[in-house]
Structure 1
Amino acid sequence: MTAFFAAEPEEAAALREALGAGEALPAPFPLHRGEGVLVAETGVGKVAAALAVAHVLTRFRPSESFFLGVAGALDPSLRALDLLLAEKAVQWDVDLTPFGREPGETAWGVRFFPSDPALLARAEEAAGRLGLPYRLGVVATGDRFLADRREAQGLRERFGAQAVEMEGGAALMVAWRFRHPMALVRAVTDGAGEGAERDFQAFLREAARRLGLLARALVY
């Protein structure tokens, strides 16, 4: 079974429709099942994402997972609706530097949590087959919607990240702890600067639709 995770209701609805996941299951968040797939609507933020991933991995034991959703671009060469296939993600607001850690480094000594290379290659093949523009890169995750261009530039310089969002680093951390294969894919909706909230709303629906197409191509 393949599990799909998304934070926003619009994202999860697009995945459910694309994957035919219409059977609601009892869970502490919206969770639906289709033939060979699960779709979890995690809610926004790192704690919500971690809770949902841990619950699904423990309760249903899928063989593989994808976390799909939208993100703000840190790299100005990324355009709205481009896909970023995350090779790894860092939690940019984790700060244990008083204890000699690097910014974003967790207490386990891990700073960047990786996507599964085989699943990422599948996502790359599926995006290419669908004709969706994509690139590989790094995602920065934090519990705050970023709408400040100067701060966004700082994240790019500090972590080498191309996009910023609010769940992926936590989801990949849980998958890493469970030794479970997961890949993170984001569609760009905004530039993580002034006007980001407006652009986010404008492009969210189309980004979610494209992620639904990608999800279907990953399993069918």
Structure 2
Amino acid sequence: MTAFFAAEPEEARALKEALGAVEALEAPFPLHRGKGVLVAETGVGKVAAASAVAHVLTRFAPRESFFLGVAGGLDPSFRAMDLLLAERAVQWDVDLTPFGREPGETAFGVRFFPSDPHLLARAEGVAQVLGFPFRRGVVATGDRFLADREEARRLARLHGAQAVEMEGAAALMVAWRFRHPMALVRVITDGAGEEAVSDFQVFLKEASRRLGYLAQALLAY
């Protein structure tokens, strides 16, 4: 079984429709099952994402997982609807530097949590087949919607990140602890600046539709 995770209701709805996940399951969050697939709507933020991933991995033991959703671009060369295939993700709002840690480094001694390379290669192949513009890169995750251009530039420099969002690094950290293969893929909807809120709303529906096509192809690939 393959599990798909998404934070926003719009994203999860698109995944459910694309994958035929119509059977509602009992869970602390919206969870639906289809043939060989689970779709979990985690809710927004790191705690919501981490708890949902841990629940699904513990209860259902899927073979593999993908966390799909939208993100704000930190790299100005990104265009709306481009895909970022996250090779790794960092929690930008974790700060243990008074204890000699690097910015974003967790108490586990890990700063960047990786996507599974085989699943990421599969996502890359699917993106090529679908004709979706994409690149590989780094995602910065934090529990705050970033709408400040200067802070966005600082995070890009500090972590080498190309996009920012609110769940990915937490989800990958849980997968890392469970030794479970997961890949993180994001669609860029905004530039993480002052216009980010309006851009996010404008592009969310179209981005979610793109994620549905991607999930459908990943399941068949």
TM range (shorter): over 0.9
| Cα distance in 1 between the residues matched to 2:109 and 2:101 | 8
- Unpaired segments of 5 or more residues in structure 1? none
Question: Which string of whole-angstrom CA distances, capped at 9 and with x for unpartnered residues, describes residues 128-180 of structure 1?
Answer: 00001100000000000000000000000000000000000000000000000
| Cα RMSD (Å) | 0.3
One-letter code of the match for 1:192?
A
1:79 aligns with 2:85: no
Match of 1:204 in 2: 204
How far does residue 194 in structure 1 lie from its aligned partner after superposition? 1.1
How far does residue 79 in structure 1 lie from its aligned partner after superposition? 0.6
Match of 1:175 in 2: 175
Match of 1:62 in 2: 62
| Cα distance in 1 between the residues matched to 2:162 and 2:57 | 28
Q: Which runs of 4+ in 1 moved over 2 A?
A: none
1:102 aligns with 2:79: no
Equivalences for 1:27-42 in 2 at 5 Å? 27-42=27-42
Match of 2:161 in 1: 161
| Cα distance in 1 between the residues matched to 2:18 and 2:84 | 20
Identity %: 81
Match of 1:15 in 2: 15
Match of 2:184 in 1: 184
Question: Which string of whole-angstrom CA distances, capped at 9 and with x for unpartnered residues, describes residues 81-140 of structure 1?
Answer: 100000000000000001000000000100000000000000000010000110000000
SS at match of 1:77: coil
How many residues are matched? Answer: 220
How far does residue 27 in structure 1 lie from its aligned partner after superposition? 0.1
One-letter code of the match for 1:179?
R
Under a length normalisation based on structure 2, what TM-score does the superposition of the two structures give? 0.99
| Cα distance in 2 between the residues matched to 1:184 and 1:6 | 10
SS at match of 1:66: strand
| Cα distance in 1 between the residues matched to 2:41 and 2:204 | 15
| Cα distance in 2 between the residues matched to 1:97 and 1:166 | 21
One-letter code of the match for 1:136?
R
- Unpaired segments of 5 or more residues in structure 2? none
Match of 2:89 in 1: 89
Match of 1:147 in 2: 147
| Cα distance in 2 between the residues matched to 1:64 and 1:115 | 11
One-letter code of the match for 2:125?
E
Match of 2:25 in 1: 25
